[in-house]
Structure 1
Amino acid sequence: MQTIALVGNGTWFDCGMVLKSYDVIIALDGGHQFCQKFGITPTITLGDGDSITDKPTNFIVSTDQTTTDLQKGLAYIQEHFTDYVIDLFGFVSIDRLDHTLTAIHLLYNHRVIRSLYTPYQHLRPIIDQIELKNVTSFSLLPIEDSATVEIQGAKWNGQFVLDESYSGLSNSAVADTVHISVIDRPVLLITPTQWT
């Protein structure tokens, strides 16, 4: 299975070491500059070109203004790759909440998108269960109307129903490993990141 990093033009953060570990790096328009800050040449760069001053040699132009660069990137991947997972970088910015919300929405709707990395958090959906190692804290949010989770290895253990009366849960790890099991519906897991 290939690992693919889709890189947007959002707020820059020091994730170069992580980015370099991917099999394929696809920069979306201004995401090319995001990669250049780490000395990374993306596998390809695609988009409408409105955020790039110097077009790279591996640039694929798509002037279609009815789709976002992120949609173009996902379509390109579906057309050219078969066995893959996608992580998103550079899709959070202080002035484009629409891009941030779209990326979070896609985490659940596109099962091949595994994670969204931000300057301060790592977001990922949990469909069934996960073991967390080396975390100090975490938060869980229901993706649908409600969700039930079971937590072990945290300050607050047990089964929790996340719904309109208890919409999210923040917790702290007290063991080396935290176990989270989804009982009925998926949740969004948010953990802090330390890039240095």
Structure 2
Amino acid sequence: MTDDEPLAVFDDDMDARFAASVAELRKARGWSQERLAKMLTRRGVRDMTGLVISRIEAGRRKVRLQEAVGLAQVFGVTLLSMTKQDEMLNAIVLLSGQVRDLRALQSDFLDTAERFAANVHESATYVLRVIDDLRASGDLDADAQDLLSRYERGARGALEFGPSEIASKVTWPRTPEGKNGERQAEV
């Protein structure tokens, strides 16, 4: 991550995810709301009761920063994990890695397309030389001449475009920003 990347994704559901985490973590430990409130009070969190915990879990009461830190400490987790931001960040990191891999595959694919096009061009040139040599020998019957004419049309068709022009026909979808390297697809 760079300095200008956000460390968390802030949205309208953050409070709801936090409240759901409080309930999930408390229930997973088998604690009552009253027991959780007493644990927080022992850590110096003021005005904490079972009823307050109930209202927090139901999303009917906002959590103060001191309470959020106390809850995370009691549960032994991070504040980030209580808002499910770590899951979102993991998904973002995974996705950015997949995009990076896709760009590398794109580059490899385009390089392969260029090599393939160069090989087609080279092969067509060779076929035309062989056809010229066979015709120069003068020992061809009508069927052989017909066959050579068909091969010649195919080879000349392959030479109609150069290797870079053939490779440029390979398209790749545009990214939302319109960036994907040197070639842009006609979508």
The TM-score range, normalised by the shorter chain, is under 0.3
TM-score (norm 1): 0.22
* Greater helix content: 2
Greater Rg, structure 1 or structure 2? 2
* Greater strand content: 1
